């Protein structure tokens, strides 16, 4: 088992990438705290982990709230004694997110609060717990749109994920000598409910797919396997990385010079 006796917190753990990652981490031996605003779906993930012989706990957490993020870290240390892995994965993609002219301020603020401030809060309370444990791994979910612009305008989302990348790089440098690795997982377009609800017409989906060399949407399970690599000792010499798992999309559009 690649995460035997490790303790992980997974935000947005009730669905999509978070759900598949929580299940996979547990199968690989980790004790998992599933943090999400959706109590029913989150508890279902915990039940599924327990049914397979794993260990998990659920905590309701709105990552835009500092107290909720502090609570999820406390839950990990109280229930399982420590924290080894923090996966700041929770995020939103608002269907009304558009360009600078059309995007409403409220959509901008909500997107930033969850996608960017939520990562900050996770690290604010999670990094001290990792220090108490002598080190560990932080994984922040960014996106390929932090590297290239989105074909369908989603300015608040893209800006928030760019912020996640910048935060990841700085935290990696700050904490490298403490045994705390901080990397960003950058998924390409995925066949998840989050993206499919945003790309709500076949025309929008094809407009996104035409840019993907592999010609298909990725799957949440594929991102979970990438997160497992970043969480495990197999990536022990990686920190500050933008780990692109995008079907070749950015390779088709980004030159070596950036």
Q: Which residues pair with 245 in a beta bridge?
A: 187
| Distance from C-alpha of 23 to C-alpha of 52, rounded to nearest angstrom | 9
Q: Please enumerate in sequence order all residues whose Cβ is within 8 A of that of 11, keeping only pairs 6 or more positions apart, or say none.
A: 18, 35, 36, 61, 63, 72, 87, 88, 89, 90, 118, 122
Cα separation of 223 and 21, whole Å? Answer: 8
Structure tokens, 146? 């932090």
Domain that holds residue 188: 7-253
> Does residue 258 sit within a domain?
no
In a domain, 2, yes or no: no
Active site residue 125: no
Angle subtended by helix axes 155-175 and 105-115, to nearest 10 = 30
1 belongs to a structural domain: no
**50 found inside a domain:** yes
pLDDT digits (tens, 9 = 90+) for 107-146: 999 999 999 999 999 999 999 999 999 999 999 999 999 9
**3-state DSSP of 22-68:** HHHHHHCCCEEEEEECCHHHHHHHHHHHHHCCCEEEEEECCCCCHHH
CA dist., res. 250 & res. 244, Å (int): 8
Number of domains in the chain: 1
The pTM of the full predicted model, rounded to 2 decimals, is: 0.94
CB 245 within 8 Å of CB 223: yes
243 domain-assigned = yes
Q: Are 76 and 129 spatial neighbours (Cβ–Cβ below 8 Å)?
A: yes
List the CATH number of the domain containing 240: 3.40.50.720
48 is a domain residue: yes
Render each residue's pLDDT in the chain as its tens digit; 258 residues: 999 999 999 999 999 999 999 999 999 999 999 999 999 999 999 999 999 999 999 999 999 999 999 999 999 999 999 999 999 999 999 989 999 999 999 999 999 999 999 999 999 999 999 999 999 999 999 999 999 988 788 999 999 999 999 999 999 999 999 999 999 999 988 888 877 787 778 877 887 788 889 888 899 999 999 999 999 999 999 999 999 999 999 988 876 655
The reply to whether 172 falls in a domain is yes
Catalytic, out of 157, 198, 237, 253:
157
DSSP state of 218: B
Tell me, yes or no, whether 80 lies in a domain. yes
Q: How far apart are the first and last CA of the chain?
A: 37
């Amino acid at each position: 088992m690649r995460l035997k006796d490790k303790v992980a917190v997974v935000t947005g753990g009730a669905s999509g990438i978070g759900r598949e990652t929580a299940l996979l981490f547990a199968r690989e031996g980790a004790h998992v705290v599933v943090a999400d605003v959706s109590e029913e779906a989150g508890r279902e993930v915990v039940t599924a982990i327990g049914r397979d012989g794993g260990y998990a706990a659920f905590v309701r957490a709105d990552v835009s709230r500092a107290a909720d993020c502090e609570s999820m870290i406390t839950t990990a240390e109280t229930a399982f004694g420590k924290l080894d892995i923090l996966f700041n994965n929770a995020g939103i993609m608002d269907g009304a997110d558009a360009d600078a002219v059309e995007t409403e301020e409220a959509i901008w603020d909500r997107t930033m609060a969850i996608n960017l401030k939520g990562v900050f809060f996770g690290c604010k309370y999670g990094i001290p717990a990792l220090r108490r444990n002598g080190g560990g791994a932080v994984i922040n979910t960014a996106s390929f749109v932090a590297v290239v612009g989105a074909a369908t305008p989603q300015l608040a989302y893209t800006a928030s994920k760019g912020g996640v990348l910048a935060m990841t790089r700085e935290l990696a440098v700050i904490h490298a000598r403490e045994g705390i690795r901080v990397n960003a997982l950058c998924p390409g377009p995925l066949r998840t409910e989050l993206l499919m609800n945003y790309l709500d017409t076949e025309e929008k989906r094809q407009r996104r797919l035409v840019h993907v060399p592999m010609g298909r949407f990725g799957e949440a399970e594929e991102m979970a396997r990438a997160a497992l690599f970043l969480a495990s000792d197999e990536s022990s010499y990686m920190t500050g990385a933008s780990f692109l798992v995008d079907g070749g999309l950015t390779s088709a559009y980004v030159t070596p010079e950036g």
